[in-house]
Amino acid sequence: MAASLLRLHFHDCFVNLPMQGCDGSVLLDDTATFQGEKTAPPNLNSLRGFEVIDAIKSDLESVCPETVSCADVLAIAARDSVFLTGGPSWEVQMGRKDGVSASKAAATASLPGPNSTVAVLLANFQNVGLSLNDVVALSGAHTIGKARCSSFSSRISGGAGGGPDINLDFVQSLQQLCSSPDLSTTATTAAVAELDKGTPFTFDNQYYTNLLSGEGLLPSDQALAGQDQETRMIVETYVEDSDRFFEDFKASMVRMGSLVGVVGNTGEIRRNCRFVN
């Protein structure tokens, strides 16, 4: 679940309405009178790990009731997921409050999609106060995890994102994976591929090596090496120096984790991460 828990924190923080940010809003279930972020297109049938967060929160509530927010649980779980898969550790800033609202529309608009160009990625990141270097460093989270065929269909059809350096063998392997012998089935959309086929369960810098060889799975991944000279230079730096990647990733995670909109009495510490108190 490491990649899924890391992704939950990212998808929570990036919804940057004035009262949101890293506020646990992505964890809220829909009700008869409320529609939150879980059904937004970037999240629907994509995010996982909610039951893991529920179990952590339940344990915390049994020992220290209403003390640790769901937003802080997400931040800590993301850090531990990175560390337990071989990546760096860092001190997580604490004290976030849980939001009492969420926005499907804001999640749809704020979260960068898998077909994003570098320009679109940068605009999304700059909207929440993050930089081009943060774009490349945080994209390194794709060194673990998987993606559905529907997320990289343009890579299959035309090698999108790679510019002139399309790796035809890699594209053909994806075509084979995602092709369905029976077009009446959902096999094409249900199939998944590793985001980093080299070391899929280890948090390392292999993701960046893949980009230089044209083997970035998502178009938005491959774009970092094929569309922009500045992002390509950062990719090359991380390939040559894994320690630099780890240091930059830690710093970017802390910056992202500080995107907090809810302050003071506006937020709360939920007893159940799925519902406001």
Q: Is 204 known to sit in a ligand binding site?
A: yes
Question: Residue 158 half-sphere exposure, CB side, CA atoms within 13 Å?
Answer: 5
The DSSP string of 174-190 is HHHHH--SSTTSSHHHH
d(CA 233, CA 229): 6
Q: Is 112 known to sit in a ligand binding site?
A: yes
Q: DSSP code of 90?
A: -
The secondary structure element, H or E, covering residue 6 is helix 2-13
Q: Is 199 known to sit in a ligand binding site?
A: yes
The candidate with the shortest Cα–Cα distance to 176, out of 168, 164, 185, 166, is: 168
d(CA 221, CA 211): 7
Contacts of 229 (CB under 8 A, 6+ apart): none
CB 270 within 8 A of CB 98: yes
Q: Is 120 known to sit in a ligand binding site?
A: no
Q: Is 11 a catalytic residue?
A: yes
d(CA 91, CA 274): 26
d(CA 275, CA 158): 43
Q: Is 21 known to sit in a ligand binding site?
A: yes
- List C-alpha distances in Å: 245 to 136, 143, 250: 9, 12, 9
**7, 9, 11, 232: the active-site residue:** 11
Number of Cβ within 10 Å of residue 192's Cβ equals 15
Q: Is 23 known to sit in a ligand binding site?
A: yes
* Known binding residues for substrate: 112
Point out the residues that are catalytic.
11
Q: Residues annotated as binding site?
A: 12, 15, 21, 23, 25, 37, 112, 142-143, 196, 199, 204
Going by the annotation, the residues of the binding site for Ca(2+) are 12, 15, 21, 23, 25, 37, 143, 196, 199, 204
Binding residues for heme b: 142
